[in-house]
Amino acid sequence: MSFQSKQADFTLPSREVMTEPEAADFLRIGLTKIREMRRKKEIPHVPGKPVVYMRASLISWLSGREVKPIAMDEQQEQKALRKAPRHGSDKAAIRALLLT
C-alpha cells in the first residue's frame, strides 16, 4: 500500500497578488505615493518581504472610497441655492423657481 501526500494548492493567478510597483501601476499612482499610503496604513496590503497587495482587496478599498452622485433634483436645488442672494434667501421661493 503506497501513500501519496497531497500537496496543498496555494497558488494564485499572478495578477491576484501584486508587488508594490504593480499595485501602483494598477491604481495609477506613483510608487512614492503607494509607499507613503502603506506606511500610514491607508491602503490594504500584506506586510513582509516583499510587501504584496491583493487585487480583490484593492478593488474593495477603491469601491469604499467612491463618491456617489447626488440626484439631479438635488443638484439643481444646490445650484439654485448657490446663485441665490445671500441676504433674505428663502428656500421655498427657490424651489418654486425650480418648479416653474
**Predicted local confidence at residue 38, as pLDDT:** 96
Percentage helix, strand, coil for the chain under 3-state DSSP, each rounded to 5:
50, 5, 45
Q: Which residues of the chain have pLDDT under 70?
A: 1-14, 72, 84-100
The structural domains of the chain, with segments of one domain joined by +, span 17-65, 69-100
Say whether 46 sits in a helix, a strand or coil.
strand
**Predicted local confidence at residue 69, as pLDDT:** 77
